[in-house]
Amino acid sequence: MKNSKLSRQHAIDKDQKDQLKRFKQEFHIKEGTLYMDGNSLGLLSKRAEKTLLTSLEDWKEHGIEGWTEGEQPWYYMSEKLGEMTAPLIGAKKEEVINTGSITTNLHQLLATFFNPDDKRNKILADTLNFPSDIYALKSQLRLHGLDPEIHLIQVTSEDGRTLNEEEIIEQMNEETALLLLPSVLYRSGQLLDMKKITEAAHAQGIIVGFDLAHSIGALPHELHDWGVDFAVWCTYKYLNSGPGGVGGLYVHEKHLGQAPGLAGWFSSRKDKQFDMDHTLTPSETAGAYQIGTPHILSSAPLLGSLEIFQEAGIDNIRKKSLDQTAFMMQLIEQELDGYDFEIANPRQAERRGGHVSLEHKEAARICKALKEKQVIPDFRAPNVIRLAPIALYVSYEDIYEMVMRLKEIMDKETYKKFENIRGIIA
């Protein structure tokens, strides 16, 4: 197929052979719309809708007794979600908890694991990470009386798109206390070699953390076996938990049993929590890193969503995702040659996340034209169109049709009627 012209029939044939195609009917998809933004906000599944309604019914039926007597008891929901999430990241169930948001969880884990002294007092990060992670790192440094200009080391990118693992490793030294990196870069979709980075950091006594926002639900991980110290993520992208869906965190079992840096009521051991003792007895699981009361109505949809992942299997999802992004890139090169598009994500499967990063100087206005054609992309400044063919609900024919609509936009130059500036939400 690589040597022949791809056609709609090629896409149809792929869809007929797709072992995951049945899951598309599980999602609410607006007729005629091609949704390519699941790496920013995933679509609502019928199961997520059902489990949310179940928690509402538990509230209506049981009131406060819903914490323990509902069909989905709220008191244990975070732990249940952690257990369901653990296989997606290669963790033990006691190492995972769903709680808070990605940034509050990051603050929690930085407060716990960043303990600078006169020798080790620097944090190693990068210049391509999502801004909120860098905001958190700078905040934590200031709380320790340290200057981010001196104590935050950010590895630069040679091409403005990707990071070189060897350069990251070269920046590690005896002054580095902690390292935080994204697993997949949010603009270019580059997948970092987490195992290699972790091993190199641990060899120098450095605590290792990863932000899994753009990898969890798109590809498998082996966090426990790799020895990663901690990780955080959101669940509203590939995991389809809904806008503002509850976040999650992982802490390796070697760190469990210690008090969290930021203690709160739900940091308690479950059987001690309602003793109301002013001395915290922290949970012996990742539950210790919770702070406040779980956000039940932002957690409940994830119960249904994770059922789908259990049935589909993360390895199967990754296999299809890689094939879909490869198919999309082939189509882009075939149909959009001469329109000044450039594929910015890595081509190698082992270095690619779940989306295609397409660069164009007119990216913002092209995204607006795509939306007019009922294609939902994602714009990232300054010039990136992110396109995510989500394995659970995007078909190969959807990908083909998306590229055809984009080609029509470029042929007819309909994008020129829009301003080349982003909207409020890109």
Sequence ranges of the binding site for pyridoxal 5'-phosphate:
102-103, 130-133, 211, 214, 236, 265, 293
Kind of pairing between the strands at 176-182 and 122-126: parallel
The secondary structure of 229-274 as a DSSP string is -EEEE-SSSTT---TT---EEEE-GGGTTSPPSS--GGGB-TTTGG
What span, in angstroms and rounded, lies between the C-alpha atoms of 298 and 293? 12
The residues, any chain, with a CB within 8 Å of residue 153's CB and separated by 6 or more, are 122, 123, 124, 125, 171, 176
Measured on CA atoms in the order 76, 78, 82, 85, is the torsion positive or negative? positive
Greatest alpha-carbon pair distance for the chain in Å reads: 71
In 121-273, DSSP assigns E strands to 122-126, 152-155, 176-182, 207-211, 230-233, 248-251
Q: Give the 3-state secondary structure of residue 152.
A: strand
Tell me how crowded residue 145 is: count the other CB atoms within 10 A of its CB: 9
Write out the binding residues: 102-103, 130-133, 211, 214, 236, 265, 293
Element (H, E) at 35: strand 34-35
Q: How far out from the chain centre does Cα 368 lie? A: 24
Return the DSSP state at 186: T
Measured on CA atoms in the order 307, 313, 318, 323, is the torsion positive or negative? negative
